Structure 1
Amino acid sequence: MIMMNSSESIEELISNNEVALVYFGSVGCNVCNVMKPKVEELLKAYPKIKSAQVDIENSIELSGFYNIFTIPAILVYIEGKEIIREARHISIQELNSKIERYYNMLFE
């Protein structure tokens, strides 16, 4: 995942890719530190999904812009629209099934 710290770069990622995933977390968040490698591993199965990471400690205004009230948070955009939003207690299996459904519709 590419580290991003501006709304312009995130909006560019979302608008220039059919599917984009934005991961919001923090270095000081233990749950985030456990979840991030799992999300990165999940994304290996979906090579057409472009992803970015936002460290909210360094980008507090971004968390407000995207209405992030708890971390970790995962936002998935398809064709520029937010389709999936998961936060705090995230099940990788459920996230995978949601992503897989949309991914298969778009790319297979």
Structure 2
Amino acid sequence: MKSNRVLISIDEVEKFIGNHHLAFLYISKTNCSVCHALVPKVQEVMAKLPKIQMAFINVDDVPELAGHLSIFTAPVLILYVDGKEVLREARFVHLDQFQHKITKIYQLAGDTEPN
């Protein structure tokens, strides 16, 4: 089952990452037109990858997250496998390249998913 949760603290972010084999964070800002335009496209890609759990964070609501995850721009898309960051895309995301990279990681990580 896919999660489209909104996280509102660093603690929630850490728990989300730790509780999912494949955890994906979509980090945005309130007045970011690129952030809002990219969401449906990323959700379309993620719909094809059902084992990845997705969560959203508005860095304006959790400003300390910027320092915690070294966020310098928005949007930032981060994929974690077993708590380790394996993919990060920021600002202008090339969707074809993003989809290719995340699908490749998904296929490799799916073979090692814990039971």
Question: Which TM-score band applies after superposition, normalised by the shorter structure?
Answer: over 0.9
Structure 1 residue 4 corresponds to structure 2 residue 2: no
CA shift, 1:99, in A, is: 0.9
Tell me how far apart the structure 2 counterparts of residues 104 and 26 of structure 1 sit (CA, whole Å): 30
The 8 Å contact of residues 26 and 77 in structure 2, kept in 1 or not, is answered as: yes
* Letter paired with 1:12: K
- With the length of structure 1 as denominator, give the TM-score of the two structures: 0.94
Aligned residues: 108
Tell me how far apart the structure 1 counterparts of residues 107 and 35 of structure 2 sit (CA, whole Å): 28
Match of 1:35 in 2: 38
- Among residues 86, 93, 102, which one is paired with 1:99 in the alignment? 102
- Among residues 70, 73, 83, which one is paired with 2:76 in the alignment? 73
Structure 1 residue 14 corresponds to structure 2 residue 21: no
Task: After the TM superposition, list the runs of 4 or more consecutive aligned residues in structure 1 that deviate by more than 2 angstroms.
Answer: none
The 8 Å contact of residues 5 and 62 in structure 1, kept in 2 or not, is answered as: no
- Among residues 44, 48, 51, which one is paired with 2:47 in the alignment? 44
Tell me how far apart the structure 1 counterparts of residues 14 and 106 of structure 2 sit (CA, whole Å): 20
- Among residues 46, 58, 71, which one is paired with 1:55 in the alignment? 58
Aligned-pair Cα RMSD in Å: 1.1
Q: Any stretches of 5+ residues in structure 2 without a counterpart?
A: none
Q: How does 1:83-94 map to 2 (within 5 A)?
A: 83-94=86-97
Identity %: 32
- With the length of structure 2 as denominator, give the TM-score of the two structures: 0.89
The 8 Å contact of residues 23 and 73 in structure 1, kept in 2 or not, is answered as: yes
Deviations 1:38-65 (A, max 9, x none): 1111110011100111111111111221
